[in-house]
Structure 1
Amino acid sequence: MADANAATETADLVCDRLVRRFGDTRAVDEISLSVPAGSFFSILGPSGCGKTTLLRLLAGFDRPDDGDILIRGERMNEVAPNRRPVNMVFQHLALFPTMSVADNIAYGLKRQKVAAPERRRRIAEVLEQVGLPGMEDRNPQQLSGGQRQRVALARCLVLRPTLLLLDEPLGALDLKLREQMKVELKHLQKAFGTTFVYITHDQSEAMVMSDQVAVMRQGRFDQVASPETLYRHPETPFVAGFVGDNNCLAGTVVALDDGQVTLDLADGSRVRGMAASPGLQPGQPAQLFVRPESLSLVATTAAGEAALSARVVTTLFDGANSRVELTAAGQVLFARLPQDGSAPCLDAGQTLALQWQPSLARVFAGAPA
């Protein structure tokens, strides 16, 4: 616990080797984390990875089998949910449909026996902060989806929790409103200064809003880092494939030289100059990840850049970009090219050189899954 104790000086939340078992399955498998005060921390992972179980442990709806949960330095393992300095926003919001906005927000304050004048003051204040002034008497059913979302946030934030836990709260919104609420949630978190712990399977939500993101798989964290670091410097094949779009090419390690790796790909093409990750050995299988926006198609290859012969299958318009489907090295790949006139005109069946800067690619040991 030495590291966890040191972390509590600047952290609102510390988990130390947290475990939750269901039979022989470890849904949460020795998770350790430290969430700085006033930050937006997201836990990102596919369905079934254990993120909701972890959130339930933090909220007090379930108890860990091993390890500790500390909020502002106080151990919470046996503390009941209603006695933790924590509140929670659910995907379906759980607003009371027969109560006014003010009564919904006042619900927790009444349970805390806050006097009526103070309740009215705090309700008016929090509605101003979430951009809904003067809506105290409205019914939730009279509000838009985004307004109901803000009422649900206001109901939690009015209680001034140390942690606000959010369990995929944007999942029920349509795409345009979801995009709008991503920005609003980030602004609200900064305005209130409350520590947010946000659960999602949507990597776009995590990347846009978070100060730090923990990528979770099979009960463990693969990597915890800033969104930019996760995107540009993934530490595992799972993170490389799960965060953002990526192309994955199977290859064999030919040589390791001064921290760089040379690969032979499935069609016999040889690419070199990519940074070597731990575990690579000559003669062993490897997987090369390169993002669609890092690829370019040219008639001739620039010196010092990796390149493959690629055939254009189809080109799709995608707003500011073209999404180009290609075959190269015996596999289907995708490139994302800007619609600014800089990309070549492409026809189905056309063969070009596909290239990328080696520094933008990642190579990991092992064959693709």
Structure 2
Amino acid sequence: MTQESDLSCQGLVRRFGAHTAVDHVSLDVPAGAFFSILGPSGCGKTTLLRLLAGFDRPDEGEIRIRGQRMNEVPPNRRPVNMVFQHLALFPTMTVGDNIAYGLKRQKVPAAERRRRVAEVLEQVGLPGLADRNPQELSGGQRQRVALARCLVLRPTLLLLDEPLGALDLKLREQMKVELKHLQKAFGTTFVYITHDQSEAMVMSDQVAVMRAGRFEQVASPEQLYREPATPFVAGFVGDNNRLSGELVGLDAGLADVRLPDGTRVRGRLAGEAPAKGAPVALFVRPEALVLAGEALRPDYATVRTEVRTTLFDGANSRVEVRHGDQTLYARLPQDGSAPRLTEGSTLYLAWDPALARVFALGEP
């Protein structure tokens, strides 16, 4: 643990009978960071958040907040607050009373409560709305009231359990930006739980990708996207194409892979080198695929594919193609440079091997 950490956990384990929901998880969150825990439903995210909040206790391991052990500290004594997906605002209270609720329970004097409520409403962009009822506000405004109710207590950590899940798509996109701005403005450490990788990638300083109770990788959003550490991370974070084959050689960190039809392609090896002939998976992003042509560099990997579907996608065409029994997706520009594509036509696609990742298939 570093002195600058607001949250440090070592070897957290939580079991429910024979099921291990959190399996030896360790993390270290710097002060003032926006830290997201990303993973599919059932991976243990919410159980981990409950451990951090104090609603549940770990079977093993330790939780420290600013260096202080928290395992036995009840939720109301921890310097932590929590925003839930359904906000849990009191409908019979005004906005101001909702925000002041925690301060009142802490026996903060009335004049100080009013001052702090007005201050936090200004900070979240809702000045003058203290006397409104939450039902009179838009979904985005109610979201900000829920945040203000937590932030007015000045917690060390703010835990957020999929808080945008109940919002419509357009409002979710707006609130991603709002949340990031608010986190920076307050300087509070956010620990954010989500199954939506776009939320985690847009807002976070660091992201922990979780699967089956464990962290697969903890890194910046850019590193997760460009340098996934496992096949699961490569497939879960962003769009990615996967080609299965066998390793036939290695040269300066590049893996030579033979696909089932005999085509040879290359990509950067991730992790330790497997034996020749071992099964591997090559991942390459749709935006890394380019049209193979005469001017293409000879060291690019190239595959012959058959066009299945072409979809208009704004500035690009999203093209679904097949190579043998494996499906690929490419994004091709709408600038007239791409050939006319029809179902069943042949399309040669290529990529720079440095932009592809090859994993040994010791795990899915």
| 2:312 corresponding residue in structure 1 | 317
Matched, 1:255 2:262: no
Asked whether 1:38 is paired with 2:35, we answer no
> Deviations 1:140-198 (Å, cap 9, x if unpaired)?
00000000000000000000000000000000000000000000000000000000000
Residue number in structure 2 paired with 1:327: 322
Q: What is the distance in 2 between the residues matched to 1:93 and 1:129?
A: 19
The structure 2 residue matched to 1:21, chosen from 15, 30, 33, is 15
Query: Contact 2:209/2:215 (CA < 8 Å) preserved in 1?
Result: yes
C-alpha displacement at 1:342, in angstroms?
A: 4.0
Structure 1 position 71 matched with structure 2 position 82: no
Q: Give me the whole-angstrom Cα distance separating, in 1, the residues matched to 2:162 and 2:130.
A: 26
After superposition, the C-alpha distances for 1:25-67 in whole angstroms (9 at most, x for unaligned) are: 2111111100000000000000110010000000000000111
Q: 1:308 to 1:368 in 2, by over 3 A?
A: farther
Deviation at 1:274, TM superposition (A): 3.2
C-alpha contact (below 8 Å) 1:39/1:196 kept by paired residues? yes
1:169 equivalent to 2:169? Answer no
TM-score by length of structure 2 reads: 0.97
What CA deviation, in whole Å up to 9, does each residue of 1:314-359 have, x standing for no partner? 2101223211010114311111223344433322222121101111
Alignment-mate amino acid for residue 297 of structure 1? L
Deviation per CA, 1:277-299, whole angstroms, max 9, x where unpaired?
A: 32422011000111111111234
Q: Is the 8 A contact 2:292 2:302 kept in 1?
A: no
Residue identity matched to 2:72: E
CA 1:90/1:273 → structure 2, altered by over 3 Å: closer, same or farther? closer
Of 330, 355, 367, 2:350 maps to 355
Give the one of 284, 287, 294 matched to 1:290: 284
Aligned pair count reads: 363
The worse-fitting range, judged by mean Cα deviation, of 233-242 and 287-296 is 287-296
- SS of 2:20 mapped into structure 1: strand
Q: C-alpha offsets along residues 69-108 of structure 1, whole Å, 9 cap, x if unaligned?
A: 0000000000000000000000000000111000000100
Q: 2:129 matched to which residue of 1?
A: 135
Match of 2:88 in 1: 94
Counterpart of 2:189, as a letter, is T
Between stretches 22-31 and 57-66, larger displacement belongs to: 22-31
Q: Which of 107, 127, 137 is the equivalent residue of 1:113?
A: 107
SS at match of 2:235: helix
Return the alpha-carbon distance in structure 2 between the equivalents of residues 368 and 302 of structure 1: 33
C-alpha distance in 2, partners of 1:184/1:194? Answer: 14
Identity %: 75
Inter-CA distance 257–63: structure 2 relative to 1 (3 Å threshold):
same
1:236 alignment counterpart: 230
**In 2: Cα distance, 1:265 partner to 1:367 partner:** 18
Task: List aligned pairs for 1:186-197, cutoff 5 A.
Answer: 186-197=180-191
Which sections of structure 1, spanning at least 5 residues, go unmatched?
none
Equivalent of 2:339, from 335, 344, 347?
344
Q: CA RMSD in A?
A: 1.3
Matches of 1:172 and 1:181 in 2, distance apart?
12
* 1:269 aligned onto 2:263: yes
CA distance in structure 2 between the aligned counterparts of 1:116 and 1:139, rounded to whole angstroms:
20
Aligned counterpart in structure 2 of residue 215 of structure 1, from 209, 230, 235: 209
Find the aligned partners of 1:177 and 1:164 in 2 and give their Cα distance: 21
SS in 2 for 1:186: helix
Tell which deviates more after alignment, 279-288 or 88-97. 279-288
- Find the aligned partners of 1:314 and 1:237 in 2 and give their Cα distance: 26
